[in-house]
């Protein structure tokens, strides 16, 4: 595995792969099994695999603690070597933002990024879209891999690729969960023992909506009320939002669900903001 810290070095290393197809997994490091699942998928579907580790300051609000984001580069490098990564891109902030993070040109997603997570974190998706666009331009991969756990991020990236004609295929990998259902996330490390014990309420809430949907429940308000009820029964869970939205546009569904939907939510438990989602397929027959 080659470790590259500059754009020029990465491009030279990529050129040595010749015409081989490249799969790309962008990360902020502190890797877990969810990342490794994406890397394994990329390994199976491409001739080469590139991974980036870059904690992107542009997607953190001034009130967020950027320095507290967990980091362990040596552990990450070892995991990536074992997973079969070919190119590891690990730039510093100046390499990606040579004039600082106050950029003249950014990628600003509109309505799809102004709701749900975007309503609570107004700068977040501009930071995500900008850095991902830059990484796509640097890496020049045929395919890029993202986890369904960050469902709104997936929708934003898909829309950006479509609207800006970026030549990369977006591959969405199912959420990888702990045994108790909690979606794997680097931010889970923020939780103490009591908070970690409360955290599976997130998946229970989503599962309650999925179960109601599978049993034939199709009224969006009923599913939202079901999720909120489960969350509010957990004293440590501070609910930000619950949503039943169109799976592509993320527009809230009013009334009967007649298309693929995404049940999603965000809660604050201690220092950790936990987000998760499940896709509700409209073609699923009641009871199946």
Same domain, 222 and 139: no
Q: Is the pLDDT of residue 56 over 70?
A: yes
What is the pLDDT at residue 284? Answer: 52
Q: Provide the CATH number for the domain around residue 207.
A: 3.30.1300.10
pLDDT digits (tens, 9 = 90+) for 190-219: 999 999 999 999 999 999 999 999 999 999
> pTM for this one?
0.94
Token digits of residue 194:
């009591």
- Answer yes or no: are the C-beta atoms of 168 and 137 closer than 8 Å: no
Q: Are residues 139 and 275 in the same domain?
A: no
| CB distance 90 to 54 below 8 Å | yes
Contact (CB, 8 A) for 138 and 113: no
Q: Is residue 103 part of a domain?
A: yes
Query: Structural domain tally of the chain?
Result: 2
> If pLDDT is split at 50, 70 and 90, which confidence band does 287 have?
very low
192 and 130 in one domain? no
Looking at the predicted structure, is the pLDDT value of residue 18 above 90? no
Q: Is 268 found in the same domain as 202?
A: yes
Q: Give the pLDDT band (50/70/90) at residue 61.
A: confident
Task: Give the tens place of pLDDT for each residue, 147-173.
Answer: 999 999 999 999 999 999 999 999 999
Alpha-carbon distance of 16 to 11, in angstroms, equals 9
Q: What is the pLDDT of residue 102?
A: 82
Let me know whether 152 and 59 are in one domain: yes
- Which residues are known catalytic residues? 35
> Would you say residue 83 has pLDDT above 70?
yes
* pLDDT surpassing 80 at residue 65: no
Residue 181 lies in a domain: no
Cα torsion at 1, 90, 118, 240 (round to 10°)?
80
Domain end call among 138, 173, 208: 173
Residue 254 lies in a domain: yes
DSSP state letters, 16-72: TTTT--EEEEEE-SS--HHHHHHHHHHHHHSSEEEEEE---GGGS-TTS-GGGS---
- Percentage above 70 pLDDT, the chain: 98
Which of 13-17, 47-51, 229-233 is least confident?
Answer: 13-17
* C-alpha triplet 207, 211, 215: angle, nearest 5°: 170
Which CATH number does the domain housing residue 87 bear?
Answer: 3.40.50.620
Domain end residue (candidates: 117, 140, 173): 173
Q: What is the DSSP letter of 255?
A: S
CA–CA separation, 159 and 195 (whole Å): 35
In a domain, 288, yes or no: no
Residue 222 lies in a domain: yes
Computed over every residue of the chain, the mean pLDDT equals 95
Average pLDDT of the segment spanning 23-52: 97
3-state secondary structure (DSSP) of residue 148: coil
Domain interval for residue 60: 2-173
pLDDT of residue 288: 33
- Does 233 share its domain with 103? no
């Amino acid at each position: 595995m080659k470790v590259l810290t500059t754009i020029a070095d990465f491009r030279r290393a990529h050129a040595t792969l010749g015409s081989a197809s490249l799969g790309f997994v962008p990360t902020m490091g502190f890797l877990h099994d969810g990342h490794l699942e994406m890397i394994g998928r990329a390994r199976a579907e491409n001739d080469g695999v590139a991974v980036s580790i870059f904690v992107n300051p542009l997607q953190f609000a001034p009130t967020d603690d950027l320095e507290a984001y967990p980091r362990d580069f040596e552990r990450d490098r070892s995991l990536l070597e074992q997973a079969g990564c070919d190119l590891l891109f690990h730039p510093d902030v100046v390499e990606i933002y040579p004039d600082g993070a106050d950029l003249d040109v950014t990628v600003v997603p509109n309505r799809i990024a102004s709701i749900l997570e975007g309503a609570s974190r107004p700068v977040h998706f501009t930071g995500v879209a900008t850095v991902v666009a830059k990484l796509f331009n640097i890496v020049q991969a045929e395919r890029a891999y993202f986890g369904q756990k960050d469902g709104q991020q997936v929708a934003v990236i898909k829309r950006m690729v479509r609207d800006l004609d970026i030549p990369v295929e977006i591959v969405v990998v199912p959420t990888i969960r702990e045994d108790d259902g909690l979606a794997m996330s680097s931010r889970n490390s923020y939780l103490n023992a009591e908070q970690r014990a409360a955290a599976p309420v997130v998946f229970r809430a989503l599962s309650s909506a999925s179960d109601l949907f599978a049993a034939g429940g199709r009224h969006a308000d009923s599913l939202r009320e079901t999720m909120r009820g489960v969350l509010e029964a957990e004293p440590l869970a501070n609910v930000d939002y619950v949503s039943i939205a169109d799976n592509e546009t993320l527009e809230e569904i009013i009334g009967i669900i007649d298309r693929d939907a995404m049940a999603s939510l965000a809660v604050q438990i201690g220092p950790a903001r936990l987000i998760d989602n499940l896709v509700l397929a409209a073609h699923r027959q009641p009871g199946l």
